[in-house]
Amino acid sequence: MTWWKAAQAKENPAPVDLERVGQVLSAQGFDMNQAADQEVLGAHFDDILVTFRLDAQGRFLTVSGTESVPFSDPQYLGFMAGAANTWNTSTFFGTAYLGTSLGERGQQLDLTVDHVTDCAPGLTTAQLCDTLEMGITVCVEGVRTLLGQYENATNPPAEA
């Protein structure tokens, strides 16, 4: 039994802040970076950037995975929107969506998967561990799925 499971029975839900999130992630062995504004934690998991942030009211905890790909041909936008929608209809956790941004190499398509938890009534340590673990897993898997769809669309395998 892991330490947070052992603590669960006696623990009541408590408010969530970024310091607590960082403590839980550190206890799970993850080496996190904190942004200069102190409002976002982040780390790479399997080369996917995953961030952890709370909204201004401290209510919604968002775990977010993002990967950006070149966006040179708008014809792929509809295809990728369909891929994100398919992810959203076929999975229980995680919300996939697309965005565009300007990167070092020009216009890019941002492939993002979010896992949001409502922390209004607080979370126990076990619940916080569970949702962070779920968020990391879902975000990395979701972004990898979208990346695979993008690569298949832009570099279709040669026919035998």
Partner 1 sequence: MSVQPLSPARLAAALDTTGLPYQRGPAGEFVVSDKHLFLVLEGDTEGKLQLRGMWRAVIEQDEDFSQAAAMVLDCCAHRHGPKAYLLETEAGHRLGAECAAYSASGFSTEQLENFVQTSLAMVAGFLQEAQGALPHLTPGGGEEPANKGESK
Q: How far is the CB of 101 from partner 1 (least distance, A)?
A: 12
Report the interface residues with partner 1, using CB under 8 A: 8-13, 55, 60, 62, 81, 84-85, 88-99, 112, 114, 116-118, 120-122, 124, 126-127, 130-131, 134, 138, 141
Q: Nearer to partner 1 by C-beta: 33 or 55?
A: 55
Q: How far is the CB of 98 from partner 1 (least distance, A)?
A: 7
Q: How far is the CB of 77 from partner 1 (least distance, A)?
A: 11
Cβ-based neighbours of 59, under 8 Å, separated by 6 or more: 118, 119, 120
User: What does DSSP assign to residue 14?
Assistant: B
Q: How far is the CB of 93 from partner 1 (least distance, A)?
A: 6
Q: At what angle do helices 125-154 and 75-90 cross, to 10 degrees?
A: 140
Q: What is the 3-state secondary structure (H, E, C) of 90-138?
A: HCCCCEEEEEEEEECCEEEEEEEEEEEEECCCCECHHHHHHHHHHHHHH
Q: Nearer to partner 1 by C-beta: 51 or 112?
A: 112
